[in-house]
Structure 1
């Protein structure tokens, strides 16, 4: 885990969990500034001789995204399994390890393991097929790779050539990497990413860096649409491969109008959404476009997310390839987050229709667009994590219970199909009941609780709404659910 002074407890937890499931395997962690593991063997620091000896004896080497450690593993003949440090979790000063590890993974120099499940799966495979994770030890290629690594780190660190004084990245995107699945000789289609924003300047810069850092070989345009704010023109960038354009919302004020402003200004074959407090994993866009290429009938591709709330992070992945309307009526399927949406622009604008601007407060506009997309065409899902979604107490909708209730009732009127699916109907009415209880409209809450229990007596939202109507603070319920990666 290197000698960085930032702790990295996430990787210790992941490896302790794997060690628990594999008691026959010795797992040795050089944990540095991080507290020692509970299950695996731990040592604070190894000198260089001890480190080389341990790597020489190992079946597999796992490390953080430090170039020296990665190249040390390759020198010992291992394909390093790398978990990048996340600055939003206090694991590093910035996000350069994400981009650096993505480039090494794409070039075959290392294997990126961005989630716990992926790390565990790769370790299982390394036990079963160790030869697949061996590389020729030492040699000129390793030295050359180390030099390229240093150049990349210099380019990506805050304040380096091409970055602003605040650390925001305005440098040209790294050179594209040949695709592994997209085998057609046709060029990769241009993509526009629509990023609506309001009052989140620091989070927005993280979002933009994750979009610019995609390993997608084609051109990616970003439309930053300011809603209720004056546009920050310093974000604009004329880079030919990763341009960033700054716009003002010219549609109905609100999230839906901001998304539509970006969609209508896109002019590209594909259009994607990303919220201003979320980030993309480097492979996200490339993998989704590959899926679209394989199935020309698909209108919308989604993927899984990693939910981060305070000190908790949970992967939410839907393990199915196609999503039907009934699936969405029965469950919101929160794995299908708007920050993962990738549409064929023509189908979205002319057949499915733009994001609804009539929903009160734009609440649930993403869910309604999913329902409409499944009504009109084919919605596919990539069963892997492609985006990191930040849940926090400063949500735009936090505490706006009256507006939330109004929006949910609008949804029930627009989609009478909910009445044919009792589980889904009770879910929405239970949400209305909770919102009414949160707004301290006790009598209305009790009426919606009764309607919910009539449709589905075991619907938990009805009982949570009853507790709130009796005085339990709704924020306590929301916080507890968010820590479990869930929501009302």
Structure 2
């Protein structure tokens, strides 16, 4: 292998690293070659991976990790593609990345996550993005003339632990805190005789072809020990509304609506959100029930903390004759926490949200998600990006898992929606634990759908990201013939899912 340190001796070094993605990025190689031809006094080294080798710059397909890190420290400027892992490594080595995003329309990647990720980094001052050869040349000239502008304090150390810390720091920087993310204690309950004026709460209950379960859900909302008014908005999706449920008397009103937005769960939730005339909006699925103290405990947090936008709580999972309690033992959850883990305890039937945070803030429930699968998790991510989510660490909602659940067996919808999530949130690639979790879910869905080749591809993706990810091995077992239903039943009896 060429001794790049020796060949660049006496000249400033520009290092270009394109990672190991199998899509060619010849456009960037051409830009760098053009710069090298016009700057013979600069040593330009390109790690080009699957792209064609440069003709004017020095090139190598791959560099071992030690040599790559050494060259990054030696370089006056480091140019990268928009891969989160590569950008994290450059910053860890004390260099401000000059990032050029791969464009899927040019066949440089499968989706546009690099375009969106690099834009976010540039806006946050965490990288310099370039969209043309002229802009790249001008940025490199500036880096050579003013090297201090392209030096940062790197994160010391090496290996997986240091990489994880660097990734976490980058996520934190990308997620400007609205308020403290410390896991502070919840405010104490209101003392007797000192109760505030309790605000009206609107509860959105989407429903579809489950009248018996729906009536049980409505009863659990009606018997809340909450002193304020509760208006329940029952939104019928793909079903004729049952107006006999309506009751506009007293302080436990029930209004019946038809879905006026996109068909599906997301559109039904948004129909209720837009119809609500209250500051606080809660969700409850039509097969779940609230325990009597649920709403009061959450509203107390909202009253004590005007900046809090979302409060959740724990759940009791019921499946067949088994019941398991799932309670998160913390009171604060951050965006980085949710990238790493779905935190199933934060179920949508536990959500109490400030309506303004959605209508005039991060937006309502996303109706573009295929089949509305995982719309609750995606909303959690958006709200957590604005500020930490608060959690009451006790079970206050009974969640029913059963074979009539809407997504039972809809494997292709599940796979498509999860792939959409990974493309929409490129930050997952900075968190191997979280990326492997979602990739493993995709692998399981593809295996359960009988799509063997796709399943094997996602199994490999999962285990490359995190060799100990159990979902990869569950997916492999299903691919080899173990019935997916048997796996799910075993997990559900323990209050767990894939």
Give the TM bin, normalised by the shorter chain: 0.5 to 0.7
Report the count of equivalent residues.
310
Q: Where do 1:331-346 residues align within 5 Å?
A: 331-346=341-356
Partner of 1:254: 264
Q: Are the equivalent residues in 1 in contact too, given 2:334–2:387 (CA < 8 A)?
A: no
Q: Which of 253, 278, 282 does residue 288 from structure 2 map onto?
A: 278
CA gap 1:181/1:357 in 2 versus in 1, 3 angstroms: farther
Q: How far is the alpha carbon of 1:377 from its aligned partner?
A: 2.3
- Alpha-carbon distance in structure 2 between the residues aligned to 1:280 and 1:359: 27
Separation of aligned partners in 1, 2:361 and 2:386: 7
SS at match of 1:206: helix
1:46-85 matches, cutoff 5 A: none
TM-score, normalised to structure 2's length? 0.61
- Larger-gyration structure (1/2): 2
SS of 2:398 mapped into structure 1: strand
**CA shift digits 1:155-202 (9 cap, x unpaired):** xxxxxxxxxxxxxxxxxxxxxxxx844876641111000000001000
Superposition TM-score, scaled by structure 1 size: 0.63
Q: Counterpart of 1:298 in 2: which secondary structure?
A: coil
Task: Look up the match of 2:403.
Answer: 393
Aligned to 1:313: 323
> Contact 1:182–1:293 at 8 Å: present in 2 too?
no
Supply the distance in 2 between the matched residues of 1:334 and 1:225 (Cα, whole angstroms): 24
| Alpha-carbon separation, structure 2, partners of 1:265 and 1:378 | 26
Q: Equivalences for 1:347-386 in 2 at 5 Å?
A: 347-386=357-396
Of 405, 418, 440, 1:430 maps to 440
Match for residue 202 of structure 1? 212
Shift of 1:305: 0.4
Name which structure has the greater RCO, CA cutoff 8 Å, separation 6+.
Answer: 2
| 1:268 alignment partner, SS class | coil
C-alpha contact 1:288 1:382 (8 A) present in aligned 2? yes
Deviation at 1:444, TM superposition (A): 0.7
Q: Deviations over 1:97-141 (max 9, x none)?
A: xxxxxxxxxxxxxxxxxxxxxxxxxxxxxxxxxxxxxxxxxxxxx
1:352, distance to aligned residue in structure 2 (A): 2.1
Q: Distance in 2 between matches of 1:181 and 1:457?
A: 51
- Taking the aligned partners of 1:395 and 1:186, their CA distance within structure 2 comes to 39
Gaps of 5+ in 2: 1-188
Taking structure 1 as reference, are residues 444 and 374 closer, same or farther at Cα in structure 2, changes over 3 Å only? same
CA RMSD of aligned residues (A): 1.2
Whole-angstrom distance in 2 between the partners of 1:357 and 1:432 = 20
Once the 2 structures are TM-superposed, how far is the Cα of residue 376 of structure 1 from its aligned partner? 1.4
- 1:473 CA displacement: 1.1
Q: Secondary structure at the match of 2:406?
A: coil
- Within the candidate set 230, 245, 249, 1:220 is matched to 230
CA distance in 1 between counterparts of 2:496 and 2:196 reads 41
Q: CA deviation at 1:370?
A: 0.5
**Structure 1 gap ranges (5+):** 1-178
Aligned counterpart for 1:190 among listed residues 192, 200, 223: 200
Per the alignment, residue 472 of structure 2 pairs with: 462
1:482 to 481, 486, 492: 492
